[in-house]
Structure 1
Amino acid sequence: MLVLPAELTHREAAVCLAMLLQGLKVHGESELVVDARALAVFDTSALAVLLECRREALSEGKTFAVQGLPAALHGMAGLYGVESLLAPATPSDPSAPADPSVASAS
């Protein structure tokens, strides 16, 4: 799991993204989860950083999820139409179907 800092604005975006991408390179698991719970001060640059991190993770064949996205940042993602790209991390359930739109026949 990679962790966002408490502040992620335009000023910190480049350094934060570089650190996340470095963490991604050494991350050995097939799912990349970014923990955003500490994030307290942010602007739209936080969305840009998360989306670029997601793009890189997917290009390396990993899944991507965000845990603890602040409500205000989630709302901002909704305004830009990208909230579905920053899906919250959910625990893996081996009994769940791979595609949640597929209902099991009873």
Structure 2
Amino acid sequence: MIVLDGSTLRVTAPMVIANAKELLIAGQEKLAAGSGTLQVDLAAVTAVDSSALTVLFAWMRRLQAQGRSLSIVAPPASLLSLAELYGISDLLPLA
């Protein structure tokens, strides 16, 4: 579901409401390790809904509290469309 490989967090599960709580918790556990900018690789994500944005922003807040940042790599087009629809595209830290 989520694999931490150095400074890259790879998400391999659909980022939908059914998985949101599990993704949030698993990701936050992985965020505790490491330093600097974390790249979140979404290349393997096959489905998203608005909960994906919630999870990503929660991870961003957690990292910011640690003095770190997040960069999103290979976001699905559907995630970008949702961000555009909600008027928050500028808030997504795309790599």
**TM-score of the aligned structures, taking structure 2 as reference length:** 0.85
Over residues 27-78 of structure 1, what are the superposed CA-to-partner deviations in whole Å (9 max), with x where a residue is unaligned? x221011111111112111111011111111111001110000111111111
* Corresponding residue number in structure 2 for 1:97: none
CA distance in 2, matches of 1:5, 1:13: 13
SS in 2 for 1:29: coil
Distance 2:61 2:35 in 1: 16
Number of residues of Structure 1 aligned to a counterpart in Structure 2? 88
Q: If the length of structure 1 is used for normalisation, what is the TM-score? A: 0.77
RMSD across aligned positions (CA): 1.1
Q: Distance in 1 between matches of 2:52 and 2:71?
A: 15
Structure 2 unaligned segments of length 5 or more: list them.
1-7
| Matching residue of 1:2 | 9
Match of 1:25 among 32, 36, 42: 32
Shift of 1:3: 1.4
Report the 3-state secondary structure (helix = DSSP H, G, I; strand = E; otherwise coil) of the residue aligned with 1:8: coil
Q: Which moved more, 1:31-40 or 1:77-86?
A: 77-86
Q: 1:1-106 residue pairs with structure 2 within 5 A?
A: 1-26=8-33, 28-89=34-95
Q: Which runs of 4+ in 1 moved over 3 A?
A: none
For 1:67 and 1:46, the matched residues in 2 are separated by 14
Larger radius of gyration: 1
SS state of the match for residue 66, structure 1? strand
3-state DSSP of counterpart to 1:37: coil
Which sections of structure 1, spanning at least 5 residues, go unmatched? 90-106
* Contact 2:38–2:70 (Cα < 8 Å) also in 1: yes
Amino acid at match of 1:13: A
